[in-house]
Every structure is written in structure tokens, then in C-alpha cells.
Homo-oligomer: A and B are copies of this chain.
Amino acid sequence: MLVQTLAQEISQLEANLCSAFADPTRILILYSLNEHPRNVTEITNDLGSNQPTISRHLKILRDHGLVNTARQGVTITYSLADSRLIQALDLLRSVLHDTLTSKANLIVEIKS
């Protein structure tokens, strides 16, 4: 049926978007850009990684429309495309926090 196929396509797009988040370096980049826009060299130094790696991750974020670019001469400044991305990441982070907390409490209960 059409609706079924539509739902599948939407979830496919959504999964694609999520796969852009499925890398710790890219998450750090997004949080870094949430503070303020940065160029590639600044991001590289900020994360302590090497330039080609950062450039590739930026390309992935760009292809997914998660970041915007602005060229100034020879440097390219990247910025966060949408603050809701950080909202979503913060939501997941809070879920993560609660999960870890409850696990920690379980350990305490088992020991007592």
C-alpha cells in the first residue's frame, strides 16, 4: 500500500539523518559549532584530530544539510544549520544520563 511505502521512505530518510550522528567525532563537531562558527583548521585544533579526517566528517555533515558553509578567502567557516539538532542530541543525552544512573543504582542494590 502507498502509506506503508511512504512510512518506509520517511524512516529511511530519518535513518540516514541519524547515521550522520552515529560518530563521536561528528557529535563533537556539532557541539563545537553550536558554541560558534569555526573554520576547518579551528575545528581540527579544537578536537585534536587531523585535517583530512575532520574534512571528511564535515563533508558528511554538509551532505546531510546539518551544517552551512561560508567561504572567506581561503578559509571556509562552518556553522550549525539548525539548533534543533542540538536539542535532539541533548534529549538523547538526557536519556543516556538516566539510563546510566539507573544502571548505577542497580549495582548499588545488588551489592547491598
Interface residues of A (CB under 8 A from B): 4, 7-8, 10-15, 17-19, 21-28, 31, 48, 65, 82, 84-85, 87-89, 91-96, 98-99
Contacts and interface: CB of A to CB of B under 8 A. Distances in A.
The secondary structure that dominates the A interface is: helix
Contacts of A22: 15, 18-19, 21-22
Given A7-B28, A22-B22, A28-B8, A14 B84 contact: no
A26 to B, nearest CB: 8
Nearest to A27: B11
Contacts of A96: 10, 13-14, 17
A49 to B, nearest CB: 10
